[in-house]
Structure 1
Amino acid sequence: MSQTIDSEGADSAQNNTNSQRQLSEMMDAGRSFSGNERNCCFLNVGNGTFADISGISGLDYPDDGRAIATTDWDNDGDLDLWISNRNGPRLRLMRNDNDNENRFISLLLKGNGVSSNKDAIGARIEIKPNGKKGNPTLIQTVRAGQGFLSQSSKCVHFGLGPSTDTINIQIRWPDGSIDSFEKISTNKRYLIEQKNSKLTELRSRNEAIKLSPSAAQRNKPQSTARTPAITLFKAPNFTFQTKDGKRKILPQGKPLLINLWATWCAPCIKELADLSHHEELLRESGIDVIALNVDQLSNATIDPEKISGVLKKIKFPFLARNATGPMINLLQRLHDQLIGLNEPLPIPSSFLIDPNGNLSVIYKGPLEVNQLIADKDHSVGTLNERILRSAQIKGTIIKHPKSMQRSMAHEASIHSRHGRNWLMAGNMEGSIYHYSIAHGLNPKSQRISSNLALSHFNMAAQLNSKTNQIAALFHYRAGLKYEPKNQAARNNLAWILATSPEEQIRNPKKALEMANQLNQDTGNKIPQVLDTLAASQAANGEFQMAVNTLKNAISFLKVTPDAKLLKSLQYRLSLYNEQKTYTDKGSQS
Structure 2
Amino acid sequence: MSQSPTETQGDNLGLQSYRQGWKALNRLLHENKSFSGRETNNAFLNCGKNTPFADVSSTIGWDFADDARAIGLIDYDHDGDLDIFVTNRTAPRVRLLKNNLKSESNFLSLHLTGSAKSTPRDAIGARVEVHLKGQLVPHLRTIHAGQSFLAQSSRWLHFGLGKDAIIEKVVVHWPGSKSQTFTGIKTEQQLHLIQGVTTVTHRKTRRDSVLMPAPQPIPEKTSVARIIPPAGHTFPTIPTADGQFLSISETTLISLWSRACPHCQQELQTWATQAAKLKTSNVTLALLCADQEHHDQANAYLKSINSPFATRMAGPEAVELLDALHASIIDLWIPIPVPTSFLVSKEGQLLAIYRGPASIEQIINDTKFATTTSEKRRSAGSPFAGRWTSKPLPSTPQRTAQQLLQRAKPELAIDYLRSALTKPFLKGEKFTQSDNLLLLGQILGQQGRPTEAMPHLEAASKLLPKDIRVLRLLATANAETGNFSKSFTILNDAISYHPQNLDIYDDAIGIALKAKDPAQALYYRKKSADNNPGNPILRYRLVLSQLERGQPVDAIANCKTILGTSPKFLEAANLLSRILSTHPKEKVRSPQESLALATRLCLISKNRNANHLLSLAYAQANLSKFEEATKNLKLLINVAPPDSKFRKEVEAALVKTKANQPIRNVIWR
- Tell me if 1:164 matches 2:160: no
Shift in Å at residue 160 of structure 1? Answer: 2.5
**Residue 40 of structure 1 is aligned with which of 42, 51, 58?**
42
Are 1:293 and 1:321, in contact at CA under 8 Å, matched by a contact in 2?
yes
- Give the structure 1 partner of residue 235 of structure 2: 235
SS state at 2:221 partner = coil
- Tell me if 1:333 matches 2:316: no
Are 1:419 and 1:433, in contact at CA under 8 Å, matched by a contact in 2?
no
- Give the structure 2 partner of residue 71 of structure 1: 74
Structure 2 CA distance for partners of 1:176 and 1:392, relative to 1, 3 Å: farther
Shift in Å at residue 42 of structure 1? Answer: 3.0
Q: Which amino acid aligns with 1:491?
A: A
Q: Cα deviation per residue 1:441-485 (whole Å; 9 max; x = unaligned)?
A: 58499xx97x965751551574748xxx5x455246446655446
Point out the structure with the larger strand share. 1
- Tell me if 1:96 matches 2:99: yes
Q: Cα deviation per residue 1:408-462 (whole Å; 9 max; x = unaligned)?
A: 6x989x95796497389462773794999999658499xx97x965751551574
| Distance (Å, rounded) in 1 between the aligned partners of 2:460 and 2:511 | 25
Structure 2 CA distance for partners of 1:476 and 1:444, relative to 1, 3 Å: closer
| Distance (Å, rounded) in 2 between the aligned partners of 1:241 and 1:425 | 20
SS state at 1:321 partner = strand
TM-score (norm 1): 0.67
Structure 2 CA distance for partners of 1:528 and 1:343, relative to 1, 3 Å: closer
Are 1:268 and 1:366, in contact at CA under 8 Å, matched by a contact in 2?
yes
**Residue 270 of structure 1 is aligned with which of 255, 266, 269?**
266
SS state at 1:316 partner = coil
Shift in Å at residue 98 of structure 1? Answer: 0.8
**Residue 24 of structure 1 is aligned with which of 20, 23, 26?**
26
Q: Cα deviation per residue 1:145-168 (whole Å; 9 max; x = unaligned)?
A: 322222222322222323236563
| Distance (Å, rounded) in 2 between the aligned partners of 1:101 and 1:515 | 78
- Tell me if 1:344 matches 2:335: yes
SS state at 2:354 partner = strand
| Distance (Å, rounded) in 2 between the aligned partners of 1:46 and 1:369 | 67
| Distance (Å, rounded) in 2 between the aligned partners of 1:184 and 1:442 | 62
Using CA pairs below 8 Å that are at least 6 residues apart, which structure has the higher relative contact order?
A: 1
- Tell me if 1:474 matches 2:471: no
- Give the structure 1 partner of residue 367 of structure 2: 376
Q: Which amino acid aligns with 1:235?
A: F
Are 1:256 and 1:290, in contact at CA under 8 Å, matched by a contact in 2?
yes
- Tell me if 1:221 matches 2:217: no
Q: Cα deviation per residue 1:132-181 (whole Å; 9 max; x = unaligned)?
A: 21274222222333222222223222223232365632223343343332
- Tell me if 1:121 matches 2:106: no
Are 1:233 and 1:334, in contact at CA under 8 Å, matched by a contact in 2?
no
| Distance (Å, rounded) in 1 between the aligned partners of 2:511 and 2:85 | 65
| Distance (Å, rounded) in 1 between the aligned partners of 2:510 and 2:331 | 51
- Give the structure 2 partner of residue 155 of structure 1: 156
Shift in Å at residue 235 of structure 1? Answer: 2.6
- Give the structure 2 partner of residue 211 of structure 1: 212
Q: Which runs of 5+ in 1 are unaligned?
A: 1-7, 496-510, 532-558, 561-589
Shift in Å at residue 237 of structure 1? Answer: 0.8
- Give the structure 1 partner of residue 385 of structure 2: 394
| Distance (Å, rounded) in 2 between the aligned partners of 1:232 and 1:174 | 55
- Give the structure 2 partner of residue 143 of structure 1: 144
Q: Which amino acid aligns with 2:285?
A: V
| Distance (Å, rounded) in 1 between the aligned partners of 2:61 and 2:291 | 51
- Give the structure 2 partner of residue 187 of structure 1: 188
Structure 2 CA distance for partners of 1:276 and 1:176, relative to 1, 3 Å: farther
Q: Which amino acid aligns with 2:163?
A: P
- Tell me if 1:489 matches 2:477: yes
**What percentage of residue pairs aligned between the two structures are identical?**
28
**Residue 367 of structure 1 is aligned with which of 358, 363, 367?**
358
Structure 2 CA distance for partners of 1:424 and 1:140, relative to 1, 3 Å: farther
SS state at 2:341 partner = strand
**Residue 84 of structure 1 is aligned with which of 73, 87, 104?**
87
Are 2:230 and 2:377, in contact at CA under 8 Å, matched by a contact in 1?
yes
Are 1:106 and 1:155, in contact at CA under 8 Å, matched by a contact in 2?
yes
Are 2:288 and 2:312, in contact at CA under 8 Å, matched by a contact in 1?
yes
Are 1:110 and 1:191, in contact at CA under 8 Å, matched by a contact in 2?
yes
Structure 2 CA distance for partners of 1:79 and 1:371, relative to 1, 3 Å: farther
Structure 2 CA distance for partners of 1:156 and 1:40, relative to 1, 3 Å: same
Are 1:460 and 1:475, in contact at CA under 8 Å, matched by a contact in 2?
no
| Distance (Å, rounded) in 2 between the aligned partners of 1:71 and 1:524 | 57
Bigger radius of gyration: 2
Are 2:114 and 2:123, in contact at CA under 8 Å, matched by a contact in 1?
yes
Structure 2 CA distance for partners of 1:160 and 1:418, relative to 1, 3 Å: farther
Name which of structure 1's ranges 521-530 and 179-188 shifts more when overlaid on structure 2. 521-530
SS state at 2:201 partner = strand
Shift in Å at residue 321 of structure 1? Answer: 1.6
Shift in Å at residue 119 of structure 1? Answer: 2.8
**Residue 422 of structure 1 is aligned with which of 389, 400, 405?**
405
Q: Which amino acid aligns with 1:275?
A: W
- Give the structure 2 partner of residue 4 of structure 1: none
| Distance (Å, rounded) in 2 between the aligned partners of 1:398 and 1:200 | 39
Structure 2 CA distance for partners of 1:423 and 1:294, relative to 1, 3 Å: closer
Shift in Å at residue 354 of structure 1? Answer: 4.1
| Distance (Å, rounded) in 1 between the aligned partners of 2:395 and 2:254 | 26
- Give the structure 1 partner of residue 5 of structure 2: none
- Give the structure 1 partner of residue 515 of structure 2: 529
Shift in Å at residue 231 of structure 1? Answer: 7.8
Q: Cα deviation per residue 1:64-114 (whole Å; 9 max; x = unaligned)?
A: 322222222334322222223346555433222111222222223333444
Shift in Å at residue 213 of structure 1? Answer: 9.6
Q: Cα deviation per residue 1:113-137 (whole Å; 9 max; x = unaligned)?
A: 44443333322222233xx212742
- Give the structure 2 partner of residue 251 of structure 1: 248
| Distance (Å, rounded) in 1 between the aligned partners of 2:116 and 2:34 | 44
TM-score (norm 2): 0.60
The count of corresponding residues between Structure 1 and Structure 2 is 484
| Distance (Å, rounded) in 2 between the aligned partners of 1:494 and 1:474 | 16
Q: Which amino acid aligns with 1:234?
A: T
Structure 2 CA distance for partners of 1:77 and 1:464, relative to 1, 3 Å: closer
Shift in Å at residue 360 of structure 1? Answer: 3.6
Structure 2 CA distance for partners of 1:528 and 1:256, relative to 1, 3 Å: same
| Distance (Å, rounded) in 2 between the aligned partners of 1:25 and 1:105 | 48
Q: Cα deviation per residue 1:501-528 (whole Å; 9 max; x = unaligned)?
A: xxxxxxxxxx9x7489699997999575
Structure 2 CA distance for partners of 1:480 and 1:202, relative to 1, 3 Å: closer
| Distance (Å, rounded) in 1 between the aligned partners of 2:487 and 2:212 | 76
Shift in Å at residue 398 of structure 1? Answer: 1.9
SS state at 2:226 partner = strand
Shift in Å at residue 277 of structure 1? Answer: 3.8
Structure 2 CA distance for partners of 1:27 and 1:223, relative to 1, 3 Å: closer
SS state at 2:53 partner = strand
- Tell me if 1:51 matches 2:53: yes
| Distance (Å, rounded) in 2 between the aligned partners of 1:143 and 1:438 | 48
| Distance (Å, rounded) in 2 between the aligned partners of 1:419 and 1:519 | 27
Structure 2 CA distance for partners of 1:336 and 1:207, relative to 1, 3 Å: same
Shift in Å at residue 332 of structure 1? Answer: 1.3
| Distance (Å, rounded) in 2 between the aligned partners of 1:92 and 1:62 | 12
| Distance (Å, rounded) in 1 between the aligned partners of 2:190 and 2:139 | 17
| Distance (Å, rounded) in 1 between the aligned partners of 2:438 and 2:426 | 13
- Give the structure 2 partner of residue 110 of structure 1: 113
| Distance (Å, rounded) in 2 between the aligned partners of 1:166 and 1:267 | 73
| Distance (Å, rounded) in 2 between the aligned partners of 1:250 and 1:525 | 45
Are 1:490 and 1:518, in contact at CA under 8 Å, matched by a contact in 2?
no
Are 1:416 and 1:438, in contact at CA under 8 Å, matched by a contact in 2?
no
Are 2:253 and 2:342, in contact at CA under 8 Å, matched by a contact in 1?
yes
Query: How well do the aligned residues superpose, as a CA RMSD in angstroms?
Result: 4.7
Q: Which runs of 5+ in 2 are unaligned?
A: 1-8, 494-507, 518-547, 550-669
Structure 2 CA distance for partners of 1:91 and 1:526, relative to 1, 3 Å: closer
Shift in Å at residue 304 of structure 1? Answer: 5.1
| Distance (Å, rounded) in 2 between the aligned partners of 1:331 and 1:78 | 56
